[in-house]
Amino acid sequence: MICPHCCISFHDAWDAPIKVGQDSDGCWWVKSQKCPTCNNIIVILIRSSGSATTSKGETIPSPILHESLVRPKAANRPPCPVEVPSEIAEDYSEACLVLPDSPKASAALSRRCLQTLIREHFSIKERDLSTEIEKVISLIPSYIAQNVDAIRNVGNFAAHPLKSQQTGQVLPVEPNEAEWTLDVLEQLFDFCYVQPAIAQAKRDALNQKLQEARKPCMK
């Protein structure tokens, strides 16, 4: 598995689940393990409808109805690059933070983040996000354009037009919609902000050397 703290892959070896108790919603358990790389503990809360006994005599949750990551609160995602404008970075960071608790809220923040990026970086402002996506895909590399365009299909914009018209509104989400939109935003951040900043830094360094050699700078 990939550690949700440090994002390093390792062979998982969970401790035996411990039953916390039972209520009207089902049986509650916790299981944990420590990442061998960062030494941080990972804890998952389990809800089951009952329990079963293994061949080794261990009591385990069965069948499992739901599992929630409780430590860390959210699986680690790459931090927002410093080159990203603060307004966009704030929405992205909050979308990552609320993802485990509310995919709906996360997707709403991500859609608003995407629309702000398109409007501010590409100067495209249309009546809705769907139309803005149509116009921006011709301005970005094909591998990113296909993923950006897929946001409309993954999010089922046709069935939920408010996702396009009111991007910050909390609405039902399709499976993996919130995670997908965050993944695409990361690609856009790299293309729109990170790579241009790297290229500019290289040009500045070369111009510095040219100046020191008393030669004309790059245009």
What is the model's pLDDT at position 71? 87
Q: Which two tokens stand for residue 112?
A: 């608003």
Which ranges in the chain belong to alpha helices (H)? 86-98, 103-121, 129-136, 142-154, 162-165, 177-189, 195-212
DSSP 8-state symbol, 36: T
The string of pLDDT tens digits covering residues 107-143 is: 999 999 999 999 999 999 999 999 999 999 999 999 9
Distance CA 74, CA 68 (A): 10
Q: Is the pLDDT score of 54 beyond 90?
A: no
Q: Is the pTM of this model over 0.75?
A: no
The string of pLDDT tens digits covering residues 63-122 is: 999 888 888 876 667 778 999 999 999 999 999 988 888 999 999 999 999 999 999 999
Half-sphere exposure of 101 (CA within 13 A, CB side): 11
